Each structure stands twice: as structure tokens, then as C-alpha cells.
Amino acid sequence: MPLSSAEVEKVALLSRLLLGEEELRRMTAQLGDVVEYVRQLDELDTTAVEPMAHAAELSNVFAPDEVQPSLDRELALANAPKRDDECYRVPAVLGD
């Protein structure tokens, strides 16, 4: 197994996903397959290859600092599961 179920559990927690026992087993296997697939890249010798930060060979794409209209608030809030006239509403944020 390339991934342990503990590792998958941790990633699930960070992604705020609750997995049942059966789901955890299935995900551990499936995610493991993905990792195993990508791991094939390890077979390549990349010592002479310069690391790249982006797939496109572009850099310095900028926009001028000019304000443009924002979304209408009604539109912005339209998909919110819970809202009031001005804000999104979410279960209470505790602590900071």
C-alpha cells in the first residue's frame, strides 16, 4: 500500500471530509493508485533538468491598478446556502 489509511484520514480531516470506514478503505486504495501512477515519474533521471514553476513559459503578466466594477451584491450572494441582506451566514466562528 503506497498510502496508509492514517495518511488518508489526515488528508480527509484537512479537507473537512468525513469518511466512513468503507469509504476510507476505498479512498485509501484509490488515492494509493493515483500516487502509484504518478510515482512512475521517479523512474526518470531529472538531475540535469531545471525545475519549473509553471507549465506555460510565460512570466510577468500584470494588469494595471485600475478599479473596475464589482459584482452586484445580490449576484454575489445568490448561491450562498445561507445569507441575509448584506452577508453570507455561516455556523458561528469561534476563537479568533
Instruction: Check residue 87 for interaction with another protein (CB under 8 A).
Output: yes
Alpha-carbon span 1 to 36, nearest angstrom: 9
Question: What does the alpha-carbon distance between residue 23 and residue 25 come to, in Å, rounded to a whole number?
Answer: 5
Measure the CA–CA gap between 87 and 64, rounded to whole angstroms.
29
- Our finding on whether 73 is near another protein (CB under 8 A) is yes
47 binds another protein (CB under 8 A): no
Backbone angles phi, psi at 83, to 5 degrees: -155, 170
Stretches 1-9, 20-28, 30-38, 58-66: which one binds another protein (CB under 8 A)? 58-66
What's the closest the beta carbon of residue 10 comes to another protein, in angstroms?
Answer: 8
Q: By C-beta, is 20 or 64 nearer to another protein?
A: 64
Is 67 among the residues that bind another protein (CB under 8 A)? yes
Q: Is 71 in the site for another protein (CB under 8 A)?
A: yes
Name residue 50's amino acid.
E
Q: To 5 degrees, how large is the angle CA 54–CA 55–CA 56?
A: 95
Binding site for another protein (CB under 8 A): 14-16, 53-56, 58-68, 70-71, 73, 76-77, 82, 84, 86-93, 95-96
